[in-house]
Structure 1
């Protein structure tokens, strides 16, 4: 018997043995895209006036869950990269900077709005057009996710 026939025979025997015992191959469990107690409203993406510049994403977030979490990362469908940004002061000048992870505890409400906290989406696909929608995914500590749709607005539209 050559090595190929031996290997095939062993694989067949293994499959029969497992099915005979009522065991099945392990499956990977995928966590649902939801974070208990986390909700988002008023999601919108405002495209840049100049094509190729970053877009901004705004929304209202409320957390009423029992576990302490932190808002760690964000992804925007149709953008190469997305980060949380905020305005801060450095050397007595206000500037935009990347936001540190934001702790979330029961009762936390955050408003991501112009001139304040927001999501900066870079490398935005030209397929994303005003009047359409895209999906934003928030990733919290531990890797849980919450995805939600946002309306796409032109630069001059109401924010």
Structure 2
């Protein structure tokens, strides 16, 4: 006699369980596209080849953070290269000095420019297949190993930066 009562109770409760599942699905946020960080927009991306073959190249771009949190970018990767480093040029002891940068903070609602004479991604050991007119994939790596990838057009050393 107990089995029919339990079965009736389970059937009566099933709409509540289904409603709870349906509500959970509706409130789930949509994840960022793979290889992208939600709210980050990259514009004006280009890799400028070195004037002397074998020297490092540089990647320049503008990065806008339309998200609601500050992001700290620590590293970069560039397809077709041996390695890439985030660099900055600063005044030190009265001289302009370029070297690896500490994490680059991009605050919510702000834009940071990676440009000649300032922040840039230094690209070492470029492969022979990276040439003017081609594109390379650049991946910026933020704290927490969050990654944001974008394409950069390859330009000759003398082209407008």
TM-score, normalization: structure 2?
Answer: 0.76
Aligned-residue Cα RMSD (Å) equals: 1.2
Match of residue 123 from structure 1: 125
Aligned to 2:55: 53
The CA deviation at 1:89 is 2.0
Paired residue for 2:104?
102
Q: Which runs of 5+ in 2 are unaligned?
A: 1-32
Q: Kindly report which structure 2 residues correspond to 1:71-90, keeping only aligned pairs within 5 A, or say none.
A: 71-90=73-92
Which one is further off, 97-106 or 124-133? 97-106
List runs of 5+ in structure 1 lacking aligned partners: 1-30
Post-superposition Cα deviations, 1:36-73, rounded to whole Å, max 9, x if no partner, equal: 11110110000001110000100010002122321111
User: What's the CA shift for 1:76?
Assistant: 0.5
Matches within 5 A, 1:119-158: 119-158=121-160
Offset at residue 32 of structure 1 (A): 2.0
Partner of 1:69 in structure 2? 71
Q: Is the 8 A contact 2:106 2:112 kept in 1?
A: no
Pair member with larger Rg: 2
Decide which structure has greater helix share. 2
- 1:13-45 superposed Cα distances (whole Å, 9 cap, x missing partner): xxxxxxxxxxxxxxxxxx821111111011000
Structure-2 separation of matches of 1:68 and 1:96:
25
Runs of 4+ in 1 over 3 A off after TM superposition: none
